[in-house]
Amino acid sequence: MLAGLWKLTGGISFSIAQIYHTFYYLLLILAVYFLGIHIYGKKEGTYAALLISSVPMVTSFSILFYLDVPGAAFAAISSLFLLKKRYFLVGLGISLMYFTKRNVCFLAPAFMLVLWFIDKESLITKLKNSFFLILPTAISVPFDLRWRKIHIESSTFVIPGLTGKYTSGDTWQNTWQYIVARVSKFLWGSGEYLNSSLINPKDVIQYLGVALLMALIFYLLFKREKKKDAALWICVGVYLLIFIFFFGMNSDIRYLFPIIPLISVLAASSFPYLEHFRWARILISVVCLFQLLGTSFYVHQHRSIPSGIREGFTFIKRNTPEKALFMYPGYNFIEATGRKFTWASSFQVEAWVMGKKYPTLDFSKDKSVLMFWNNKESDVKGIMEINKLDYIVVDKSKIYDDTVVKHFGGYPESFVERLPTLPFVKKIFENQAMSIWEVKREKHEDSLQERRSRND
């Protein structure tokens, strides 16, 4: 949708993107507000809106253009329609969640459970309602999967570390390997690079904020009547079970985003029970305000581009084609350069390509054939070709020592040191903060020299 807006407004625009994501931030707050009103009352809806608006993860992701915020907004709206028994609209919401952020669809089974076990309807009515809930998704999702299969050769659902490679032969041995892999994943996660960790208390506080955690504690301690909470707890509980099954206990906190609106509503429902603890309500409100201001300031500081990086971005704007594709590990690239970039999605594509070539390898344990660590130049070149990479942009602050741990949170030092030895890449820019490498593909091998001639 944002790409469509950019086309309508004449190209990539930071201002349009900010307005677009501000809309979803406000939509999320309004959805939580009305969800709280529908279940409890106006006071609870107000406090729920206050809590969700100040969660650091929500505030920062709304500014940084993450799709988690639109996904959470659709989750909250769908939950509201579910409780209002507008099941066809719930189905439309699930379809929107699928096209926005697929992990949000973990809520779909929970919605069905609420329909069957919370609603006091006849069997025939429940079957009819289930049909209307499923119908939009049953039409849209298969159509999308078919389109992807035809137009995107490597399209697949990729969950790092979920699917292991097992040896052929002994069924019992394979079963044991699968059990060990599942238990390991449950306890320690996928083993991939994490921006945050669910089992790190510091990360939990940093992402969810003090106010929401305080309100949850008051909810558990003081709220006695919880019958109205059943539907929300079913949604939260089912999401967590599916989430842990796929991602394990140690995973990125951002993947809990879809249930944060529901948790905010639950936590806000405890405020009327704090009549004798007025100081607690005032304290939480003040903390919410400080969180909102503090997170906004932090993101503003974080988005400031150092002079060396800015010099590299300026070079890109002046000397590279507008339709070129860059590899870069940073969200600010597109707004600073007006160019397309890839990072995580390129690793999914190469995992698909190399998985076909080396079918016995488990990439969650052995990354030796992936582009960063592959010793075969032909494999590295093939991965760059399949990803249609035109340039590799190395932010030197994001180079890490990969002698002990290999991950995709930045550029491995061994890969950066190897770049000058690859015959199909050529360094075209370097300063103290950044280096830019052109992938020498036939269609634009001499493009930089030609552009410089035209500029001269």
> Which amino acid would we find at residue 450?
E
- Res 209 pLDDT > 60: yes
Sheet with 391-395, side-by-side order of all strands: 340-342, 325-327, 391-395, 434-439, 425-430
Q: Which residues contact 226 (CB under 8 A, 6 or more apart)?
A: none
Burial-class residue 358 by CB neighbours within 10 Å (0-12, 13-18, 19+). Answer: middle
**What confidence category does residue 56 fall into, taking pLDDT thresholds of 50, 70 and 90?**
very high
CB 61 within 8 A of CB 254: yes
User: What pLDDT does residue 318 have?
Assistant: 93
Q: What angle do CA 268, 242, 34 make, to 5 degrees?
A: 30
Over the range 133-149, which residues count as b (16 or more CB within 10 Å of their CB) and which as e?
A: bbebbeebbeeeeeeee
User: Average pLDDT in the 234-242 region?
Assistant: 94
User: What pLDDT does residue 187 have?
Assistant: 58
Greater model confidence, 302 or 105: 105
- Residues of the chain above pLDDT 90, percent: 43
What residues are paired with 439 via a beta bridge?
425
Return the H-helix or E-strand segment holding 35.
helix 14-39
- Res 161 pLDDT > 50: no
User: What pLDDT does residue 191 have?
Assistant: 54
Q: What is the pLDDT of residues 241-279, one digit of tens each?
A: 998 888 877 788 888 999 999 999 999 998 887 777 788
Q: Where are the alpha helices (DSSP H) in 223-366?
A: 230-247, 260-268, 278-303, 307-319, 333-337, 344-357
Report the predicted TM-score, pTM, of the whole model to 2 decimal places: 0.78
**What confidence category does residue 159 fall into, taking pLDDT thresholds of 50, 70 and 90?**
very low
Q: What is the pLDDT of residues 316-347, one digit of tens each?
A: 999 999 889 999 988 778 878 888 888 877 77
CB 50 within 8 A of CB 288: yes
Reference 412, options 438, 373, 382, 374; nearest CA is 373
**What confidence category does residue 154 fall into, taking pLDDT thresholds of 50, 70 and 90?**
very low
Range in 125-139, 217-231, 345-359, 420-434 the model is least confident about: 345-359
Average pLDDT along the chain: 82
- Residues of the chain above pLDDT 70, percent: 80
Q: What is the 3-state secondary structure (H, E, C) of 13-29?
A: CHHHHHHHHHHHHHHHH
**What confidence category does residue 166 fall into, taking pLDDT thresholds of 50, 70 and 90?**
very low
Q: What is the pLDDT of residues 353-406, one digit of tens each?
A: 677 777 666 666 667 778 888 888 888 888 888 888 999 999 999 999 988 888
User: What pLDDT does residue 163 have?
Assistant: 43
Range in 295-309, 357-371, 400-414 the model is least confident about: 357-371
User: What pLDDT does residue 164 have?
Assistant: 43
**What confidence category does residue 141 fall into, taking pLDDT thresholds of 50, 70 and 90?**
confident
User: Average pLDDT in the 150-158 region?
Assistant: 52
CB 383 within 8 A of CB 345: no
Strand, helix or coil for residue 326: strand
Query: Where along the chain do its domains lie?
Result: 2-301, 307-455
CB 401 within 8 A of CB 410: no
The residue count of the chain comes to 456
User: Average pLDDT in the 35-58 region?
Assistant: 94
DSSP type of residue 11: S
User: What pLDDT does residue 212 have?
Assistant: 94
Q: What is the pLDDT of residues 89-140, one digit of tens each?
A: 999 999 999 888 888 889 999 999 999 988 788 899 999 999 999 999 899 8
User: What pLDDT does residue 378 have?
Assistant: 87
What does residue 387 show for φ and ψ, rounded to 5 degrees?
-85, -5
Highest averaged pLDDT of the listed ranges 24-28, 166-170, 345-349: 24-28
How is domain 307-455 classified at the architecture level of CATH? 3-Layer(aba) Sandwich (3.40)
**What confidence category does residue 168 fall into, taking pLDDT thresholds of 50, 70 and 90?**
very low
